Amino acid sequence: MSALTRALDTALDRTVVPGYSSIGYRLRRTWWPDDPRPEALAGKVALVTGAGSGLGQATGLGLARLGATVHLLVRDEAKGAAAADAIRAEVPQAEVHVRLCDVSDLSAVRRFAEAFAREVPRLDVLVHNAGTLPAERTESVDGHELTVAVHVLGPVLMTELLRPVLAGHDARVVLVASGGMYAQRLPADDPDYRRGEYRGTTAYARSKRMQVALAPLLQERWRSDGIAVHVMHPGWAATPGVTSSLPTFAKVTGPVLRDASAGADTVVWLAASEPAPPGGRFWHDRAPRTTHYRRGTRETAQERDQVWRWVLDAVGLD
């Protein structure tokens, strides 16, 4: 990448609107790394959470196009079946399976992971895409604020329990975060958002900040098993989740929103590119990105460790 291209790439990120929109996607396609080779995932197995529509379905489609056997993890079996049918219509030879689990429910995650590991001896790609943005503070069945349960606790526990089938063959784990995390500090003293006036968008961004801050620690925890951990943000994509949770935002930005396949592009690239990208980083449009733009959002090592200990305790891990 030339100095001029790097400067333009940075400018797109700093100005947000062009960088996160379809404009940035179209521009960056002219200089970003090559697409994964055809059949790059042939013979490999992928699991995508939140795969009933939007980015999850688009990720499943992208992985299937590269030859992967894809497991779509959903809460709604009918939506999962419709997503699987849509993928098969695009990729007739695709092997697609629908799995059921509520990622916010830690007992359900344990049951799912145990059953999946018994049935599927090898997992190469695990994409944590399941997401939620409640209008009011809502707790999971385990008593945790819902966004942190879905975006942090469920994914950490699921990955840990699937280590036996992820280990030993350069597996890749991708967490789908959000650029909204740039506006929030790591909530070290209140990870369950019990204090202050609750806002769904703030809760969502705080939980995504937790994903990004913990990425290096997750990478270190699972490195010995040959597992690479990546966190990425998809930019602004037109998905059912955005339309239902942020209708005003979707209406105002509609003309420049990315489609779901563009939002999922970096997930698929991280899952299939060769050589494997380095783990523990935060990615957008096939490039590692800074995790902070403002000094006020930077966490200390002590704050990060405090959240890490809270997560491990919440999911019952050492």
Closest to 138 (Cα-Cα) out of 196, 203, 50: 203
Closest to 207 (Cα-Cα) out of 132, 138, 112: 132
The conformation of residue 225, written as its DSSP 8-state character, comes to G
Three-state DSSP at 317 gives: coil
- Give the CA angle between residues 152, 316, 270 to the nearest 5°: 35
Q: Round to whole Å and give the CA distance between 257 and 273.
A: 25
Q: Round to whole Å and give the CA distance between 119 and 74.
A: 18
Other C-beta atoms closer than 10 Å to the C-beta of 245 total 18
Q: Round to whole Å and give the CA distance between 151 and 132.
A: 8
Active site residue 204: yes
Q: Round to whole Å and give the CA distance between 212 and 291.
A: 7
Q: Phi first, then psi: give them for residue 31, nearest 5 degrees.
A: -135, -5
Q: Round to whole Å and give the CA distance between 19 and 170.
A: 31
Closest to 242 (Cα-Cα) out of 230, 218, 262, 259: 259
Closest to 18 (Cα-Cα) out of 133, 177, 179, 131: 179
Which one of 193, 198, 204, 293 is the catalytic residue? 204
Q: Round to whole Å and give the CA distance between 10 and 190.
A: 33
Q: Round to whole Å and give the CA distance between 273 and 78.
A: 32
Strands 281-284 and 287-288, sheet pairing: antiparallel
Which are the contacts of 273, defined by CB distance < 8 A and separation ≥ 6? 33, 36, 40
Active site residues: 204
